[in-house]
A and B are shown apart, each in its own frame.
Chain A
Amino acid sequence: MQSVKVVVVGSGVVGLSTAVCIAETLPHCSVTVISERFTPDTTSDGAAGILFSSQFPDIPLERQRRWFKESFDHLLAIAQSSESGEAGVILSSGYQVFKEGPSERPFWADYVLGYRMLSEREMKRFPEHKFGQAFTTIKCECITYLPWLEKRFRKAGGELHHGKVSDLQHLAETYDVIVNCSGLGARSLVGDAKVYPVRGQILKFRAPWVKNFIRDGDGHTYLYPGVNSVTLGGTRQVGDWRLEVDTGDREGILERCFRLEPALHGGEVVGEWVGLRPGRESPRVEVERLKTAEGREVPLVHNYGHGGGGVTLAWGTALDALGLVRQSLAQHPPMARL
């Protein structure tokens, strides 16, 4: 049987995860990833990659829980294996502290490890905050994880091609299935005006004695100890397309992080980075049919718009996308190419 040709647009954590899922699960598919950028130049590469989530308004909670759980379990297995250091997927324990707001138990509390509220004694360390959560989660560093996924993808027979995709119609002439993981690029590629950048600036900081993460529940201040440096952040600037470093943001991040974790004193800045989160009210994981000028119809599976939750939800949404690819192929076996 002639193999089904699948193309995945985008090679960030969502694109590569989706490509691996398809290549490993559907042996009759040959999978090609086409992307303008590859690791280490994707948005995913700069992300700290700590797994935990916010809740999306339009997606049924059951589905979000499944996305989180599947991603977490997949990465936990890697963290527990001999590959942890090689893949850059590690266990990370720490705290999320809040200055205000109701202390509801978040849905992901069931999936991380050892989730509990902080005791009064522990809260003494955070005089500006009222309450907090402690848990152990995963940190997935794309700078190592993406190359690790690429290796896995190639082993499953996948191919990686460098190129900018601006016309899906054109792709539909060559491929039987298109999977759109173009992140922020979806705004222009599929004309989704609901996609917008959420600018994030971070610093890479050398302080190897800082072992626990601390995040302010407002999402604006966080420090995530990684394999080789601590990621200090951050900013959440909606609609901001600037990729250059902003010195005001840098000063703000340093000041807030040092207040949250005085142990950072004695360390030093070793890098800076800006990324644009592919913001959207909710991730778009669904299928539609794309018609070419010649009348060919190919399934177009969307998997984009994960905002700041790309690393957190990549595997779970990839599995959903895989399901949509399978479903499409079953319902409409690919037409012969002219």
Chain B
Amino acid sequence: MRVAVIGAGVIGLSTAQSIYEQYHEQVASLTIEVYADCFTPLTTSDGAAGFWQPYLYDKGNNQETKWNKETFDYLLSCLRSPEGIKMGVFLQSGYNLCTESAPDPSFKDIVLGFRQLTERELEMFPGYSYGWFNTALMIEGKSYLPWLMDWLKQRGVKFYHRKINSFQELADSGAQIILNCSGIRSGELQADPELQPGRGQILKVDAPWLKHWILTHHFTKGTYNSPYIIPGSRLVTVGGVFQLGNWSEKNNSSDHKKIWEEACQLEPSLIHARIVEDWTGLRPVRSRVRLERESIQSGPVTLEVIHNYGHGGFGLTIHRGCAQEAARLFGEILKQRHWETKSHL
């Protein structure tokens, strides 16, 4: 049984992992192949700060909240194992700041120690009158992706550095089930007007005295369009912008200026931080994550495709829940097509 995964960002790799975990014993000679024209450290997942936090409100999308929770709990359990730090997973506390009072976010019961900010804490952030404190997880792509690739390679998963131009191309070469984890460029495989880039630019700075993440929320400006400061294991990620429809992957100097000035206002000590580099990435934004099966008729053959893309700015946050769901859909296909027993030819 040959399975092809398109995309080697966090979604592609974790999907391959979940499928392997759940089916390598059930399915005779399960071969998983990952195809991508871009691998760590050059994927969108690598540039992201690596901070687990969904958007404040899920707007009734309980499914995504469930996947976010599944991911958090999974990563939390990884902390106890020695693999934890190799995976790039660690805990960090911090502040979500709002310019006005707001309902509690959808993730309040998922994270650790969620509480309102006290008066004295708010005094530390002029311009913000409300907010929350909690401990959340960091999941750094630059460590997590190599760890996933090693995990997969050790289990015989093959990697191909190649751009895939159509699902047909893979089907022609013998793939029976295709996992479409191609992120922002899914539109090149199958047009999707709902998928748009949410351009983000960040600065990486050296400021090791910062030990908390700080996210600000201006409800008129929109998610990620107001300053955030997220210390990592090595450098601090400073952002942000969220420019819907902007496909430019080049660093922009006026974005840089705006980001830097607003961040220094939020955290004055940044003025002494050394700026190491800028990075631009395109969040694969969609009204909701596309995580579903599609059977594509191609002549006499039916291609089985599982789409798993459109995770916006929360790919790392939701990846495990989605990967497990993709694996569940995979199992559905196996049952329907009678591919699951070991005795299958």
Contacts and interface: CB of A to CB of B under 8 A. Distances in A.
Given A81-B268, A266-B85, A227 B90 contact: no
Contact of A81 (B92, B135, B234, B269): B269
A212 B91 contact: yes
Contacts of B117: 114
Contact of B82 (A116, A212, A265): A265
Interface string A90-124: 11110000000000000000000110101101100
**Helix, strand, loop or mixed for chain A's interface?**
mixed
A93 B93 contact: yes
Nearest to B125: A80
B211 to A, nearest CB: 5
B211 A92 contact: yes
17 contacts: A76-B124, A80-B124, A81-B269, A82-B272, A90-B210, A91-B211, A92-B211, A93-B93, A114-B121, A122-B112, A209-B90, A211-B91, A212-B135, A263-B79, A265-B82, A266-B82, A266-B85
Contacts of B133: 114, 136
B92 A211 contact: yes
Given A82-B268, A113-B118, A211 B85 contact: no
A88 B121 contact: no
B233 interface: yes
B138 interface: yes
Interface string A202-232: 0000011111100000000000010110000
Interface in B114-160: 115, 117-118, 120-121, 124, 133, 135, 138
Contacts of A265: 82, 84-85
A207 to B, nearest CB: 8
Contacts of B209: 84-85, 88, 90, 227
Residue among A92, A210, A211, A225 with most chain B CB within 10 A: A211
Nearest to B114: A119
A263 B135 contact: no
Contacts of A266: 82, 85-86
Contacts of B211: 90-93, 211-212, 225
A85 B269 contact: yes
B113 interface: yes
A263 B90 CA distance: 7
B208 A211 contact: no
A226 B283 CA distance: 33
Contacts of B138: 209
Contacts of B208: 85, 208, 227-228
A210 B231 CA distance: 11
B108 interface: no
Contacts of A246: none
B164 interface: no
Contacts of A91: 211-212
Residue among A85, A122, A228 with most chain B CB within 10 A: A85
Interface size class of A (residues with CB under 8 A): 35 or more
Given A113-B121, A262-B82, A85 B272 contact: yes
B231 A211 contact: yes
B85 A212 contact: no
A83 interface: yes
A209 to B, nearest CB: 4
Nearest to A92: B211
A82 B271 CA distance: 7
Given A82-B268, A85-B269, A263-B79, A210 B115 contact: no
Interface of A: 76, 80-86, 88, 90-93, 113-114, 116, 118-119, 121-122, 134, 136, 207-212, 225, 227-228, 262-263, 265-266
B79 A262 contact: yes
B90 A210 contact: yes
A119 B231 CA distance: 25
Residue among A122, A136, A207, A209 with most chain B CB within 10 A: A209
B273 interface: yes
B269 A211 contact: no
B80 interface: yes
Contact of A118 (B113, B212, B273): B113
B207 interface: yes
A52 to B, nearest CB: 16
A211 B93 contact: yes
A119 B113 contact: yes
Nearest to B138: A209
B80 A122 contact: no
B269 A208 contact: no
A116 B82 CA distance: 30
B150 to A, nearest CB: 15
Nearest to B273: A85
Contacts of A84: 209, 268-269
Contacts of A85: 207-209, 269, 272-273
A208 B80 contact: no
Contact of A263 (B84, B268, B273): B84
A158 B214 CA distance: 39
B328 to A, nearest CB: 27
Interface string B205-231: 001111110000000000000000001
Contacts of A262: 79-80, 82, 84
Interface string B48-86: 000000000000000000000000000000011010111
Interface string B301-318: 000000000000000000
Contacts of A121: 112
A76 B121 CA distance: 11
A82 B92 contact: no
Contacts of A134: 113
Closest 3 CB pairs of A and B: A84-B269, A82-B268, A209-B90
